Chain A
């Protein structure tokens, strides 16, 4: 019962026309085998804001993101992007996958990876020209990786690889950016660079959704949170939805009470 209560408190005023949200999910259930990874989730992402998807390991954070992108097929549910079906809005979405899913020995250079972001402009046969290369270099510049353009991707550190993948997403010039654990296992310089880019995207009016694992930085980085543990626990602005109660409800016994209290304390500060 208490969970439902918190959820309703945590819900902010949904936009007047919720279907125009950059990402609106209704009744989404995804299952690998018999056990749902994500169960009956509703989500309404606020435009022009940065939202963190938060939850314990195996809570379905990445699955939610992948289902929203059509990478995994949901058992049920609807996904609307900017008020239209996903298939018609592909060009407006940029996705940064988890680093672990990539073969880093693949024969490709940093600039080639970023040029993959221009796939739509290039089509099947158009030649890669100076303008495309310039655009890719500009995107690399934004994440501080311009000097690495000609390196093979395996020669980069984990954080640098992550920044290259962000640059590829930037090259798409999308309106909605979905990132899967971009801060996992990266160095401090990379974290700073990535959050700087994400904030500048928000300043341009873009919408950013991040699967995030570090509870300590939620308050500094994000406007909204979406707490999930298979089903939704809470959704809304950090100030109302990111509380010790919602965290306890999301993480249960997995989060020591001390940690919860500390986070709640920073919440009040």
Chain B
């Protein structure tokens, strides 16, 4: 069943949903990257919740004009307008009051959403409202998806991606260093507004599949997932698009493979799965890599400290240090240093003396800056320089150089 779904073999509706969800995921992931880089991820939550009153009002207006209240383009247009008003309210609050952005987001989000819920209730009491099914915009609903709906998503997603390609440089510059962007004469406020406009567009076209409550996940999870794998912002955009598209496709396939599985939430869960995998497994920034790095470092520190203690004839109490020294064949099981252990200990002590000399010598400032208690002095100074340091501290005593 699931394989059939992956291969788009589950019929017309499932295929439409899968294609639509993939395109939506790509657009949302790459758009969301700029929100994430600009550190305004939560603004998208305010925008998406602000779509609800627009959806309801559009429905009421269309019914009032005697048309079909469920016309998707009309509903999306309404949602776009109210989302835009919400965004402008948010910007106004941040710029003209002392309210911080998080508080302003909370205010806009709750007021618009509350108003929307009130309107939903009003629509329930309308004669033609009962079958409207506007609640499906809260969490998305793909059951009755039409060719036209898929086209709306495809066109909206394509426009968003094209705009990202066009605006990627100014948006990156503004996200990284807004003061510098201003100094170069970039219209920073308008670029920010354009970025939010893109987010709004993605939100609006995503209402049908994912719904307004969960769209924020599709905007934010892909970029934070992608961030684990690269140190380049352009690659983050690309990977986030891929993660979003992958989540959309696989999520749609999973939900099509079994009855009564909601599409939007499954897509979000798939992208969350990608996030957890990246969090754990990514090299460099991943949690496991960090743990391994820490353990390796800890081992080096303990070995070094153990050797210095051996050289100075001090007792070693720390169990981990003793275990590491034993495993490296530097001490016997009873804690007495082996031949190799004594030699290594003497070298460690001598290197420490050399470092002391280097660090108190202004001529070696650059080398001294690299001292961390662990680095081998041979990696910092040349043989000749070490020889000179040794002359300064009286040369090695009874140890082969």
Contacts and interface: CB of A to CB of B under 8 A. Distances in A.
Interface of A: 66, 69-71, 87, 90, 93, 95, 97, 101-103, 106-109, 112-113, 116, 119-120, 122-125, 152, 168, 178, 187-189
Given A107-B232, A189-B366, A66 B179 contact: yes
Given A70-B182, A87-B185, A112 B232 contact: yes
Contact of B232 (A103, A109, A188): A109
A108 B179 contact: no
B227 A107 contact: yes
B170 interface: yes
A112 B233 contact: yes
A69 B227 contact: no
24 contacts: A66-B179, A69-B183, A70-B182, A71-B183, A87-B185, A93-B183, A95-B184, A101-B177, A102-B176, A103-B176, A106-B233, A108-B176, A109-B232, A116-B173, A116-B177, A119-B184, A120-B184, A123-B169, A124-B166, A124-B169, A124-B170, A168-B180, A188-B365, A189-B365
A125 B162 CA distance: 11
A87 B235 CA distance: 33
Nearest to B176: A106
A108 B183 contact: no
A174 to B, nearest CB: 10
Given A107-B233, A124-B167, A90 B185 contact: yes
Contacts of A124: 166-167, 169-170
A125 B166 contact: yes
A187 B365 CA distance: 11
State the 7 A-B residue pairs at the shortest beta-carbon distance, nearest first.
Answer: A90-B185, A95-B183, A152-B231, A69-B183, A71-B182, A107-B233, A97-B179
A119 B167 CA distance: 12
A178 B184 CA distance: 12
Given A90-B185, A93-B183, A102-B177, A107 B236 contact: yes
Contacts of A123: 169
Contacts of A90: 184-185
Given A90-B184, A119-B169, 16 more contacts: A70-B182, A70-B185, A87-B185, A101-B177, A101-B179, A103-B176, A106-B37, A106-B176, A106-B233, A108-B233, A116-B180, A124-B169, A125-B165, A125-B166, A152-B231, A189-B365
Contacts of B257: none
A188 B362 CA distance: 12
Contacts of B230: 107
Interface residues of B, number: 28
A157 B233 CA distance: 21
A109 B231 contact: yes
Interface in B225-248: 227, 230-233, 235-236
A170 to B, nearest CB: 14
Contacts of B233: 106-108, 112
A69 B182 contact: yes
With most chain B CB atoms within 10 A of its CB, the pick from A95, A108, A124 is A108
A186 to B, nearest CB: 13
Nearest to A111: B232
A108 B180 contact: no
B285 to A, nearest CB: 10
A108 B176 CA distance: 9
A95 B365 contact: no
Nearest to B223: A107
A178 B183 CA distance: 10
Contact of B173 (A70, A71, A119, A188): A119
Given A97-B177, A116-B173, A116-B176, A108 B182 contact: no
A151 to B, nearest CB: 8
Given A90-B185, A107-B227, A95 B180 contact: yes
Contacts of A108: 172, 176, 231-233
Contacts of B183: 69-71, 93, 95, 97, 178
